[in-house]
Structure 1
Amino acid sequence: MKTKTTSLLLLAAAFGTSANAQNATPAAAPAKGVLIGDASTVLQGFANQRANARSMVAHSVQGASVATSIRDYFEKNGVVSITGTASDTPNSVFVMKGNKKKVYGYLVKYDSKKAFEYTTDAAGKVWLTEVDITKIIPDFDPEFRDKRTSAMLLAGVAHPVYSPMANRQARHIGPYNNEDVTQLQSKPGSPWVFYLNTTAVMSGNTPLNGVTKENMYRAWQSVADQYSMLQMNITTNRAVYDAARAANPLRTGIINFVNQDGRSFAPIHSFGTTAAGTLYRNPASGWDYGYGIGMTGSHEIGHQMGMYHDHGGSGGEYFEGIAAFQWGPIMGNYWMGGSWANQLFTWSKGEYTTATNFEDDLNIMTAEEQVPYVVDDNPTSKPLTFATGGVIDPLRNFGQIERNSDTDTFTFTTSGTSTLNLRIDPLEYLRMLDVDATIYNAANAVVARSNLSVNRSAEFKSLSLAAGNYRLVIRGGAEGTPQNGFSNYSSLGFYGIKGTLTGAVTTYPGLINNIATTGQAGATGTWKYYYIDVPVGKTNVSFTLDGANGDADMFVRRGDLPNATTYNCKSDGPTSKETCSIGSPVNGRYYVGIYAYTAFSDLKVTAKY
Structure 2
Amino acid sequence: MKENYLHHKAQGIRNRSLMVLMALAGISSVAQAQSIASTPKQIGTVDAVINSLSNQQSINPMARSVANTNGLETIVSHVHNKDGQVSITGRAADSNNSTFFLKGTNKSLRGYMIKHDSKRAFEYSTDANGIVSMVEVPISKVVPDYDAKWISATNAATATITSAIHPVYSAFAQRQAPHIGPYNNEDVTKLESKPGSPWVFYLNTTAVMSGSTPLNGVTKENMYRAWQVVASQYSMYNINITTNAAVYNAAKSANILRTGVINFVNQDGRSFAPLSSFGTTSAGTLYRNPSSGFDYGYGIGMTAAHEVGHQMGMSHDHGGTGGEYFEGIAAYQWGPIMGNYWMGANWGASLWTWSKGEYNTATNFEDDLRIMNVNESVPYVTDDNASGKALVINNTGVIGPKDNFGQIEKTGDTDAFTFTVTGNGKLDLKIDPIEYFGMLDVDAKIYNSANTVVASSNKSVNRSAEFVALNLPAGNYRLVITGGAEGTPKNGFSNYSSLGYYAMSGTLVGATPPVEVVLTSGVGLANQSGAAGSWNYYAIDVPTGKTSVVFSINGSNGDADLFSQLTTKPTTTAYKCKSDGSTSVETCTVNAPSAGRYYLGVYGYSAYTGLTVKATVN
TM-score when normalising by structure 2: 0.89
- Call closer, same or farther: CA 1:53–1:433 in 2, change over 3 Å: farther
Give the 5 Å matches for 1:459-470.
459-470=466-477
Name structure 1 gaps, 5 residues minimum.
Answer: 9-28
CA distance in 1, matches of 2:409, 2:505: 21
Pairing 1:240–2:247 present: yes
Mapping for residues 11-410 of structure 1, pairs under 5 Å: 31-48=38-55, 50=56, 65-140=71-146, 147-149=154-156, 152-154=159-161, 156-284=163-291, 286-410=293-417
Distance 2:375 2:488 in 1: 28
Q: CA RMSD in A?
A: 2.5
Question: Deviation per CA, 1:267-290, whole angstroms, max 9, x where unpaired?
Answer: 011111101110011134634211
Q: 1: CA distance between counterparts of 2:51 and 2:468?
A: 66
CA contact (8 A) 1:311 1:319 kept: yes
Contact 2:251 2:258 (8 Å CA) reproduced: yes
Q: CA 1:283–1:543 in structure 2 vs 1: closer, same or farther (change >3 Å)? A: closer
Aligned equivalents of 1:92 and 1:604: distance in 2? 65
1:387 shift after superposition? 2.1
Query: CA shift at 1:76, angstroms?
Result: 1.7
- The CA distance in 1 between the partners of 2:84 and 2:443, in whole Å, is 44
> 1:340, 1:216 → 2: CA distance?
23
1:562-589 CA distances to partner (integer Å, 9 max, x unpaired)?
A: 3344332233444433332222222332
- Go from structure 1 to structure 2 and tell me whether the alpha carbon gap of 1:282 and 1:538 turns closer, same or farther (over 3 Å shift): closer
Please say if 1:512 is aligned against 2:531: no
% same residue? 61
Q: Are 2:538 and 1:530 equivalent residues in the alignment?
A: yes
Larger deviation, residues 585-594 vs 178-187: 585-594
- Structure 1 runs, 4 residues or longer, greater than 6 Å off: 52-55, 141-146
Name 1:592's counterpart in structure 2.
600
- Cα distance in 1 for partners of 2:147, 2:571 equals 62
Which residue number in structure 2 is paired with residue 421 of structure 1? 428
Structure-2 separation of matches of 1:114 and 1:534: 50
What letter corresponds to residue 217 of structure 1 in structure 2?
Y
Match for 1:263: what amino acid?
R
Aligned length: 583
2:556 to 545, 548, 568: 548
Deviations 1:337-386 (A, max 9, x none): 11211111111111111111111111111111111111111121111111
Say which SS state the counterpart of residue 144 (structure 2) adopts. Answer: coil
Q: Does 1:478 align with 2:508?
A: no
Secondary structure in structure 2 of the residue aligned to 1:70: strand
SS at match of 2:96: strand
User: Once the 2 structures are TM-superposed, how far is the Cα of residue 260 of structure 1 from its aligned partner?
Assistant: 0.9
1:215-258 Cα deviation digits (max 9, x unpaired): 11100000000111111111111111111112211111111111
Partners of 1:373 and 1:152 in 2: CA distance: 37
State the shift of 1:92 in Å: 0.5
Q: Distance in 2 between matches of 1:579 and 1:145?
A: 63
3-state SS of paired residue (1:395): coil
Contact 2:236 2:410 in 1 (8 A): yes
Structure 2, gaps ≥5 residues long: 1-13, 24-35
Report deviation, 1:451.
1.1
- Displacement, 1:407? 1.3
- How far did 1:47 drift? 2.9
Partner SS for 1:443 = coil
Determine the C-alpha separation between the residues in 2 that align with 1:87 and 1:69. Answer: 5
Aligned equivalent of 2:5: none
Structure 1 window deviating more from structure 2 (94-103 vs 193-202): it is: 94-103
- State the SS of the aligned residue for 1:595: strand
Label 1:30 to 1:443 Cα distance change in 2 as closer, same or farther (>3 A): farther
**DSSP-derived class of the 1:90 partner:** coil
Query: Any residues of structure 2 matched to 1:451-462 within 5 Å, and which?
Result: 451-462=458-469
Give, in whole Å, the separation in 2 of the partners of 1:91 and 1:107. 11
Relative to structure 1, the CA distance from residue 156 to residue 139 in structure 2 (aligned partners, 3 Å threshold; closer, same or farther) is: farther
Conservation of the 8 A alpha-carbon contact between 2:157 and 2:343: no
2:496 equivalent to 1:496: no
Contact 1:188–1:233 under 8 Å retained in 2: yes
Letter aligned with residue 405 of structure 1: G
Comparing 346-355 and 525-534, the one that deviates more: 525-534
SS of match in other structure, 2:373: helix
Structure 1, residues 144-173: CA drift from partner, whole Å, max 9, x if none?
969434664446532111111011110100
> Which residue identity lines up with residue 577 of structure 1 in the other structure?
V
The CA deviation string for residues 51-102 of structure 1, in whole angstroms up to 9 with x for no partner, is: 66699xx9x9xx9632111111111211211111101111111111123432
The answer to whether the 8 A contact 1:155-1:335 is kept is no
Paired residues of 1:152 and 1:335 also in contact (CA < 8 A): no
d(CA) in 2 for partners of 1:535 and 1:369?
26
Q: Relative to structure 2, which stretch is displaced further, 76-85 or 529-538?
A: 529-538
- Structure 1 CA distance, aligned partners of 2:53 and 2:494? 44
| Cα distance in 2 for residues equivalent to 1:67 and 1:533 | 56
Cα distance in 2 for partners of 1:202, 1:348 equals 34
Aligned residue in 2 for 1:559: 567
Q: For the structure 1 residues 517 and 340, does the alpha-carbon distance in structure 2 shift closer, same or farther, using more than 3 Å as the test?
A: same
How many angstroms does 1:123 deviate by?
A: 4.1
Counterpart for residue 11 of structure 2:
none
SS at match of 1:89: coil
- 1:365, 1:371 within 8 Å by CA — same for their partners in 2? yes
Letter in 1 for 2:50: L
Secondary structure, counterpart of 1:148 in structure 2: helix
Separation in 1 of the partners of 2:214 and 2:558? 62
Distance 1:415 1:307, change over 3 A: same
Note closer, same or farther for the CA distance 1:52–1:562 as it changes in structure 2 (3 Å cut): same
* In structure 1, C-alpha distance between the alignment counterparts of 2:274 and 2:193, rounded to whole Å: 24
Q: Distance in 2 between matches of 1:576 and 1:584?
A: 26
Contact (CA 8 Å) 1:330, 1:345: kept in 2 or not? yes
Indicate conservation of the 8 Å contact 2:384/2:595, yes or no. Answer: no
CA gap of 1:324–1:298, structure 2 versus 1, over 3 A, is same
Rounded to whole Å, the distance in 2 between the matches of 1:103 and 1:599 is 66
TM-score for the superposition, normalised by structure 1 = 0.90
Instruction: Check 1:150–1:456 CA distance in 2 against 1; reply closer, same or farther (3 A cut).
Output: closer
Q: Does the aligned pair in 1 maintain the 2:444–2:480 contact within 8 Å?
A: yes
Deviates more, 1:297-306 or 1:384-393: 384-393
Instruction: Give a deviation string over 1:370-408, Cα, whole Å, max 9, x none.
Output: 111111111211111112311111011111111113211
Is the Cα–Cα contact under 8 Å of residues 155 and 339 in structure 1 kept in the other structure?
no
